[in-house]
Amino acid sequence: MRAIVQRVKKASVQIGSEVKNSIGRGILVLCAFREGDDEKKIKWAAERISKLRIFRDLNHKLNRSVSDEKGEALVVSNFTLYGNCAHGTRPDFSKSANFQTALPMYEMFVRELNKRVPTKTGEFGGDMTLEIVADGPVTVVVDN
């Protein structure tokens, strides 16, 4: 599993002309899955992401998590995170799990993260527009 976690002041996901979900202060999580990802890896990622110390404390150090801040998470599936750009100019997405394999992993990840942080989603496999107000910006990669 691979996730890009971005600290946000607010974020929303739109499908067509309708806003599907939005959050205030918290994290935007773009996530992708590959063959071989399992329950253990997904639970580890949810736990790690919920505890990432990417929010500032009173001394302006990155010592607080989205959980500490009582923030929210917006999770958006993004199979292109496994795009390999080593050869040519068209990324190779063959490392990404196919739709049928990735969907239950995505659903499990959302459930696990929601146990730790209030979590909203986009539409798995959907064509979405994201509106992001980055905070910092602070962006990290979680790869498992």
Helix (H) or strand (E) holding 113: helix 99-114
CATH superfamily of 2-136: D-tyrosyl-tRNA(Tyr) deacylase (3.50.80.10)
Task: Point out which residues pair with 14 in neighbouring strands.
Answer: 19, 129
Q: Which residues contact 83 (CB under 8 A, 6 or more apart)?
A: 91, 92, 93, 96
Residue spans of the domains in the chain: they are 2-136
How crowded is residue 10: how many other Cβ atoms within 10 Å of its Cβ? 17
Task: Point out which residues pair with 68 in neighbouring strands.
Answer: none
Count Cα neighbours of 30 within 13 Å in the Cβ-side half-sphere.
18
For 65-80, the pLDDT digits (tens) are 999 999 999 999 999 9
pTM value is 0.95
For 9-37, the pLDDT digits (tens) are 999 999 999 999 999 999 999 999 999 99
Average pLDDT on 102-113 reads 98
Tell me what percent of the residues of the chain surpass a pLDDT of 90: 99
